[in-house]
Amino acid sequence: MAIAVFSILIAAVISTGITEFYLGHDLEKDMAAIGSDPVTRDWWKVCEPCQDSLDWTGPPPSEGGKGGNWWAPIEEVFHDGHPATQYK
């Protein structure tokens, strides 16, 4: 196993966090595909009750809502800048 990305992040209102790093070429197209996938939407319905959105109005993402910021903004203060070298 290898460490793919090592980052240090600061968030004002978060106790546990997950970061994802996009490795594609067309973010808008890929996000639209993810958002229209029925299995993903079903998973969102399971996860949404476990989360407190910060600044959201209207229906949740699983129902097509686009009402603000679901997640807290975070600032990356350190990044090693190296791509992954191996996966096992």
Q: Is 56 helix (H, G, I), strand (E, B) or coil?
A: strand
Going from N- to C-terminal start, the domains of the chain cover: 7-79
Signed CA dihedral, 44, 50, 52, 57: sign only = positive
Q: pTM of whole model > 0.75?
A: no
Token readout for 52 is: 């407190």
Residue-wise pLDDT tens for the chain (88 aa)?
Answer: 344 566 666 666 655 555 666 677 888 898 889 888 999 899 989 988 888 787 888 888 888 888 888 877 777 676 676 655 554 4
User: Shortest CA distance to 2 belongs to which of 82, 68, 67, 64?
Assistant: 82
